[in-house]
Amino acid sequence: MVEFRYSNIEREMEVYGFDSYVKSHCRMCHGGCGVIVYMKNGKVAKIAGDPDCPIAHGTLCAKGLASAQLAYHKDRITYPVKRIGPKASGQWERISWDEALDTIAERILTYKERHGPESIVFGYGTGRENEAVIYRIANLLGTPNVLTAGHFCYGPRICTSIITCGTNPIVDYEKFPKCIMMWGNNITISNPDEYKGEPFSVALDHGAKLIVVDPRLTRPAARANVWLRLRPGTDGALALGMLHVIINEGLYDREFVEKYTYGWEPFVKRVNEYPLDRVEAITWVPKEKIREAARLFATTKPAGIQWGVAIEQQINCADNDRLLMCLMGITGNIDAPGGQVLNRPPHVVNVGQFGAHGMLPREQFAKRLGGEHFRLASRFAILQPKCVWDAILEEKPYPVKMLFLISSNPVATRANAREVYRALEKVEFLVVSDFFLTPSAELADIVLPAATWLEMDYVADYWKRHGYILPRRKVIQVGECRSDHEMLNDLAHRIGQGEYWWDNFEQALDYILHPMNITWKDFKKMKYIRGEVKYYKYKETGFSTPTRKFELYSTVLEKMGYDPLPQYREPPESPINTPELYKEYPYILITGARMPGFFHTENRQIGRLRALHRDPIVEIHPEAAAKEGIQEGDWVVIESQRGKVRQRAQFNLSLDPRVVAAQHGWWFPEKKEASHGWDESNINLLTDNALETCDPAMGASNIRTLLCKIYPEQKERKANE
């Protein structure tokens, strides 16, 4: 095990001449890492990991270390502005907060009166911890339309886990699992949601066996006992194949299955439709490898599955999540020490209660865009983005007149980027709250200066399922920047919601904490609060599902008209589904591998972080590169039937020669005269958002797996000369 040594805080202050320090919790990605922020002359001088943090234990990534560079960046928006020229013209005028919020409030009330509250869509990006206030203002206004990443990122995990076992099952690294199966995830880089890379690495150092499911040889895959290099998009078939081995070899936990599961017999029948010969043909994974991994996971206890959004950004999204939970359940690893725990949060007002979901009128709930198609998503207040773009561009089923986007850059993060761009161009009134003028913000009518995590007080990690809440303490004030929480609290008073909000947002923090009889001032003095730790709770109370059992056969989905058993769907574009298209576009393109330093589209203007990734990279096997006349380092064109982008080629021997892997989230802050180059390397110019290609329950866009061709950029230039 690696031993970390930390400098004494007082010694650091003495040696470097710091004036003071503040302990807080970072939020440069999904948040939760404890930090010590050292101050000098009223400014942040250094940020270091806090060894007292129960989640990250003093470790901190490049993003956290660069937080001050973000806060003090010369291009940051530090006061409200309004557009004075055409959209994307770059012509802005400074205005006051009062003018900005009064204008926004007037538009909200006008659209509500003329077109109904549903004509106003609020939206937010991932991991910003503002979801509770955004849903509160939307629900109290009466709009059912809140645009999130929840249709294909984390939201599916929450929705499917609630209907399967009551809450999201989290790997219990604290009790050292003896086997970890990492599936479509690279926790050592991405630090997603409840997780940080350090506990995973420590568990491996303690001797945990490792199975990695990934088309690429990541660092964890290089350490794995078994690496399953599957054909992209076939995760569901692979899971069914592993279940086939576990069930037919009798490796499942009989007591758990007999006492605590619902739907065993029909579930077994479904699994038996996927013998290993069939699964090998679908996934490209040798059946011996599948059998080896299944046996290792089922017989090495306790075991946990560490999975990520790669399996959710597919047409098989909801069933992929359910199948992995079935693997956890039938092997007896649910709510087991060192397995997959169902954590209890501290006793606070939860996000759903704060978000006032119960106050949205039923008649307005019924108007949620796409709700009749994506019924599981709608049940959890999640929208499919294309339904919003259609309501703007075609005014169907009704017109959307106003978008209010907070910490979101959909031009670069949502499928079919050109359609997204057209929608943001057309919408009558667009407000964006962000740190910088992103390609999406350039299309706004008003841009508001958002606060970084260094500039706010908040109950951090309030929405997560790891069982902790953490104090995020305000350290600095930059310009006129305000937190989303403060801004929406102020706006709510202007649109007639004052009785449901507070005079200042500290009172809202008191409200969140009041079930524990503490205030924000009390919580600020604490390190953290953790919910009760208790294992095997289902043995006393059952699972929080309609049957009180772990539902292999979902009664909720059955009532909604969906298949109650998880299944496998072939990707919409694939060698099997579209063989003629495959002849023209002979490579499977995967997208979205995480990069140290970036968080989706963020941080490309921060010098130290951009230096890690100067250009967008597409990985290709040398055999495929030679076939296409590509040299390593060449700028190449990646083309799908929807568009083209350029990225720089990098060879990767671990890839199947039929697969290429492109980076996501690319725009170029330095290219101010060309709308920041949003249409140059943005991989979502190639992805599809047609509703028929989305997951039928969640509406997840199939952005991770498609067909493409790839060739040197010089070849295209010569053809155009």
Question: For the chain, which domains are there?
Answer: 9-71 (3.30.200.210), 81-154+349-461+468-530 (3.40.50.740), 166-344+537-560 (3.40.228.10), 579-720 (2.40.40.20)
SS (H, E, C) 269-321: HHHCCCCHHHHHHHHCCCHHHHHHHHHHHHHCCCEEEEECHHHCCCCCHHHHH
Between the alpha carbon of residue 6 and those of residues 3, 10, 51, 354, the distances in Å are: 10, 12, 7, 38
Q: Return d(Cα 174, Cα 116) in angstroms, integer.
A: 50
Q: Give strand ranges (E) for 532-582.
A: 550-551
pLDDT tens-digit readout, 453-505: 999 999 999 999 999 999 999 999 999 999 999 999 999 999 999 999 999 99
* Res. 635 pLDDT band, cuts 50 70 90: very high
Q: Return d(Cα 269, Cα 244) in angstroms, integer.
A: 10
- Looking at the chain, the whole-number percentage of residues with pLDDT higher than 90 is 92
Helix (H, G, I), strand (E, B) or coil at 505: helix
Task: Please report the pLDDT score of residue 720 as a whole number.
Answer: 65
**How much is the mean pLDDT over the chain?**
95
pLDDT tens-digit readout, 242-272: 999 999 999 999 999 999 999 999 999 999 9
Mean pLDDT value of segment 360-369: 97
User: Which is more confident, 98 or 2?
Assistant: 98
* Res. 721 pLDDT band, cuts 50 70 90: low
Neighbour tally for 717: CB within 10 Å:
11
Distance linking the first and last C-alpha atoms of the chain: 60
Between the alpha carbon of residue 242 and those of residues 271, 298, 315, 546, the distances in Å are: 9, 9, 20, 27
Neighbour tally for 3: CB within 10 Å:
4
pLDDT tens-digit readout, 158-187: 999 999 999 999 999 999 999 999 999 999
* Cis peptide bond upstream of 86, omega within 30: no
pLDDT tens-digit readout, 381-391: 999 999 999 99
pLDDT tens-digit readout, 418-437: 999 999 999 999 999 999 99
* Res. 87 pLDDT band, cuts 50 70 90: confident
Which one-letter amino acid corresponds to residue 584? E
pLDDT at 334 over 80: yes
Mean pLDDT value of segment 673-685: 94
pLDDT at 11 over 90: no
Task: Please report the pLDDT score of residue 14 as a whole number.
Answer: 86
pTM score: 0.96
Task: Please report the pLDDT score of residue 402 as a whole number.
Answer: 98
Task: Please report the pLDDT score of residue 5 as a whole number.
Answer: 45
Task: Please report the pLDDT score of residue 4 as a whole number.
Answer: 42
Task: Please report the pLDDT score of residue 2 as a whole number.
Answer: 38
Task: Please report the pLDDT score of residue 7 as a whole number.
Answer: 56
φ, ψ dihedrals at 624, nearest 5°: -65, -40
pLDDT at 97 over 50: yes
pLDDT tens-digit readout, 198-222: 999 999 999 999 999 999 999 999 9
* Res. 664 pLDDT band, cuts 50 70 90: very high
Alpha helices, DSSP H only, in 586-633? 607-610, 622-628
pLDDT tens-digit readout, 138-150: 999 999 999 999 9
pLDDT tens-digit readout, 521-543: 999 999 999 999 999 999 999 99
pLDDT at 127 over 80: no
Q: Return d(Cα 202, Cα 687) in angstroms, integer.
A: 37
Task: Please report the pLDDT score of residue 191 as a whole number.
Answer: 77
Chain centroid to Cα 284, Å, comes to 28
Task: Please report the pLDDT score of residue 294 as a whole number.
Answer: 98
